[in-house]
């Protein structure tokens, strides 16, 4: 006699082998293999503004949330840590892509970081007065982030109208006195460029900034900056 086995729907759990972030209409879909730790982290960094959508096969959130710099950077960090790829238009909306020119700057920063790590092996203080081990940990973390970002989509040039700061981009900033300057966010000096360290408040602001963004500082010599352009 033929017997049929019925599985209650409550027992069915969607498991995907895909690891990607993509757009579906005006929803951002975040897909990764079933992992309770990832679930908790994603809900935490998005403030719980995600819902698992069985039809789409991943967590769904309103793509307009990407207009907020903190949301963009949180999702980019999540993708770096867990190897998720940005696909299609999602990479532009999230500022998670590299242009051909930016790739060369990222490569140059990785090489300079590796050179710095080889030259700072002794225990003591770095040239910036920091504990060497702390400084090496910062550089190592930055290198891991850069390697992860090198796997993001590569575009021949910056899409028209995209004013988001992306890895390796040139950022033109304006100071309160009207003076302007072009900088890159880099953990180490790069020949031919003025840089801002990602370990400083300004560097953290610029990493997730967009054209027109204004930031005021609570202390120190620098009072405020405005991002006026982002170039390849």
pLDDT at position 218, please? 84
Q: Collapsing DSSP states into helix, strand and coil, what is residue 114?
A: helix
pLDDT at position 127, please? 52
| pLDDT confidence band for 126 (50 / 70 / 90) | low
| pLDDT confidence band for 125 (50 / 70 / 90) | very low
pTM: 0.84
Cβ atoms within 10 Å, residue 88: 13
pLDDT at position 128, please? 54
User: Using one digit for the tens of pLDDT, what is the confidence trace for 136-172?
Assistant: 999 999 999 999 999 899 999 999 999 999 999 999 9
Q: Is the pLDDT of residue 8 over 80?
A: no
pLDDT at position 131, please? 79
pLDDT at position 122, please? 55
What average pLDDT score do residues 173-179 get?
93
What average pLDDT score do residues 23-45 get?
94
Nearest to 197, CA basis, from 127, 150, 133, 148:
127
Task: Give phi and psi for 52, each to the nearest 5.
Answer: -75, 125
Nearest to 17, CA basis, from 63, 84, 79:
84
Which H helix or E strand runs over 85?
strand 85-86
Nearest to 215, CA basis, from 165, 149, 160:
165
| pLDDT confidence band for 10 (50 / 70 / 90) | very low
Q: Two tokens at 231? A: 């170039």
Q: Is the pLDDT of residue 9 over 80?
A: no
| pLDDT confidence band for 120 (50 / 70 / 90) | confident
Nearest to 228, CA basis, from 161, 169, 182, 167:
182
What average pLDDT score do residues 35-50 get?
93
How far is it, in rounded angstroms, from Cα 147 to Cα 32?
20
Classify residue 117 as exposed, middle or buried by CB count within 10 Å of its CB (0-12, 13-18, 19+).
middle
pLDDT at position 13, please? 40
Classify residue 8 as exposed, middle or buried by CB count within 10 Å of its CB (0-12, 13-18, 19+).
exposed
| pLDDT confidence band for 132 (50 / 70 / 90) | confident
Torsion of CA 57, 58, 63, 65, to 10 degrees: 160
What average pLDDT score do residues 193-220 get?
93
pLDDT at position 212, please? 96
How far is it, in rounded angstroms, from Cα 104 to Cα 84?
22
């Amino acid at each position: 006699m033929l017997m049929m086995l019925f599985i209650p729907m409550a027992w069915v759990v969607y498991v995907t082998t895909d690891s990607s972030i993509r757009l579906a209409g005006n929803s951002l879909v975040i897909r990764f293999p079933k992992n309770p730790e990832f679930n908790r982290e994603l809900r935490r960094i998005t403030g719980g503004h995600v819902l698992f959508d069985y039809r789409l096969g991943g967590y769904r959130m309103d793509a307009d949330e990407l207009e907020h710099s903190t949301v963009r950077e949180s999702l980019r960090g999540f993708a770096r840590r867990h190897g998720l790829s940005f696909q299609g238009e999602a990479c532009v909306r999230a500022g998670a892509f590299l242009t051909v020119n930016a790739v060369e700057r990222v490569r140059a920063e990785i090489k300079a970081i590796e050179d710095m790590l080889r030259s700072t092996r002794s225990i003591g203080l770095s040239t910036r007065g920091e504990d060497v081990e702390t400084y090496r940990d910062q550089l190592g973390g930055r290198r891991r982030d850069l390697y992860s970002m090198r796997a993001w989509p590569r575009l021949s040039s910056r899409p028209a109208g995209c004013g988001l700061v992306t890895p390796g981009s040139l950022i033109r900033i304006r100071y309160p006195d009207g003076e302007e300057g072009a900088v890159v966010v880099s953990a180490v000096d790069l020949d031919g460029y003025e840089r801002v360290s990602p370990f400083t408040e300004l560097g953290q602001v610029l990493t997730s900034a967009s054209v027109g963004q204004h930031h005021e500082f609570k202390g120190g010599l620098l009072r405020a900056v405005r991002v006026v352009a982002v170039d390849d």
